[in-house]
Amino acid sequence: MAGRRIERLLIHERRLRWPVDLGMVAAVAGAAIRHAGRRAKYLLLETDAGTLILHLGMSGSLRVLPVATPRITHDHVDIELDSGQTLRFNDPRRFGSLLFTAGDPAQHPLLKSLAPEPLEDEFDGEYLWKITRRRAVAIKQLIMNSRLVVGVGNIYASEALFRARVRPRRQARKLTRAECTKLARAIKATLAMAVKVGGTTLRDYVGVDGNPGYFRQKLYVYERADEACRVCGKPVKQFTQGGRSTYWCANCQK
């Protein structure tokens, strides 16, 4: 996307999670895209006119298609590029959103109070050590708390704790400094690997090319209850924690 120009922004359906402000149509017409980025679950298309902020909601997807491709049901937005392609947003349930800000996107009300990104330098063993000190909550629930760190979902929390050899039910404040360092590294490594192979297909996830994500084949413990641990061979265990399934190996994790 970077370096392309937006020829036209077409809003076919304004009724997304929040009504789409049609003022952005004229604002971004002809604008050059500087950078395509992300903050938490918000996708940021930074142009020289301002930033489009897109959220996929629960069922939204983006595809890159030739501009002439006929629309199908629930295709709500087209961002037509000077490459002859369009970035097309489809969302059956319309919980997704499209917003625009002419200012610094980091200062947008939806973004400015978000916790650190796990893949940024700001999130490290030192940060994890600090936020765990006075918290008696289980470590798995702490790393899934988006007010402390964004984007560590249920799958990746189980996987990262396995890699760090830390039991999911350990009290956060009981982790040693060395364990905090290991866990911060494990979170980064788990997410980086998942991004590299294209995410984890559970139900209906697809990449922009329409292919499913392949991280599932690389999972150590997630949804592998009673199967052999890939490290020690003992059966993987499962329990429910904060309403979510947790998977772990009682032999490998302390």
Residues binding Zn ion (CB under 5 A): 229, 231-232, 249, 251-252
Which residue is listed with tokens 């009981």? 174
Nearer to Zn ion, 58 or 232 (CB): 232
- Minimum Å gap between C-beta 240 and Zn ion is 20
Nearer to Zn ion, 104 or 227 (CB): 227
SS (H, E, C) the chain: CCCCEEEEEEECCCECCCECCCHHHHHHCCCEEEEEEEECCEEEEEECCEEEEEECCCCCEEEEEECCCCCCCCEEEEEEECCCEEEEEECCCCCCEEEEECCCHHHCCCCCCCCCCCCCCCCCHHHHHHHHCCCCCEHHHHHCCCCCCCCCCHHHHHHHHHHHCCCCCCEHHHCCHHHHHHHHHHHHHHHHHHHHHCCECCCCCCCCCCCCCEHHHHCCCCCCCCCECCCCCCECEEEEECCEEEEECCCCCC
Nearer to Zn ion, 208 or 228 (CB): 228
- Minimum Å gap between C-beta 231 and Zn ion is 5
Nearer to Zn ion, 33 or 157 (CB): 157
Token output for 213: 């994500």
Measured in whole angstroms, how far is the alpha carbon of residue 199 from the centre of its chain?
9
Nearer to Zn ion, 55 or 140 (CB): 140
- Minimum Å gap between C-beta 165 and Zn ion is 9
- Minimum Å gap between C-beta 249 and Zn ion is 3
- Minimum Å gap between C-beta 252 and Zn ion is 3
- Minimum Å gap between C-beta 56 and Zn ion is 35
Nearer to Zn ion, 208 or 232 (CB): 232
Rg (alpha carbons) of the chain, rounded to whole number: 20
Residue at 73: amino acid letter: T
- Minimum Å gap between C-beta 235 and Zn ion is 9
Residue 47 phi, psi (nearest 5): -120, 175
**Number of residue whose CB is nearest Zn ion:** 229
Nearer to Zn ion, 42 or 220 (CB): 220
State how far the Cα of 106 lies from the Cα of 110, in Å rounded to an integer: 9
